[in-house]
Amino acid sequence: MTPEQLRAFCLDFNGATEEFPFRPEISVFKVAGKMFALATLDADPLSVNLKCDPDEAVRLRGEHPAITPGWHMNKRHWNTVRVGELPDRLVRELVEDSYDLVVAGLPRAVRLRLDRP
């Protein structure tokens, strides 16, 4: 997955936006003002921080050396994923899971507007 493909995939979710609150090179992808992905798209290797269920996070880290505790994040709830070392399908699933976790924590009215009850 290229940086452009990762950006496009993150922005394809309902209500997703890209912001740069930290530095111009750090893309923060949000839904309803809540972050679901953070990446430096010009970094080599390309990696992305994604929200994850704590039990699932531990399992994924055990199965994939390319998935580690979230860099500069709450390590219980966030993973850093080295994109090029994993199949694109798995990266897409992890991004979607992160988005869904964030949406699940939003008020019901917001979730319904996003078509994610």
| 115 against 33, higher pLDDT | 33
**The whole model's pTM is what?**
0.93
Which two structure tokens, joined as six digits, stand for 45? Answer: 């290797």
Distances (CA, A) of 74 to 6, 43, 65, 104: 22, 21, 19, 18
For position 80, what pLDDT does the model report? 96
For position 21, what pLDDT does the model report? 94
Euclidean distance between CA atoms 32 and 106, whole angstroms? 8
The answer to whether the CB of 62 falls within 8 A of the CB of 68 is no
For position 113, what pLDDT does the model report? 86
Query: Tens of pLDDT along 23-78?
Result: 999 999 999 999 999 999 999 999 999 999 999 999 999 999 999 998 888 888 99
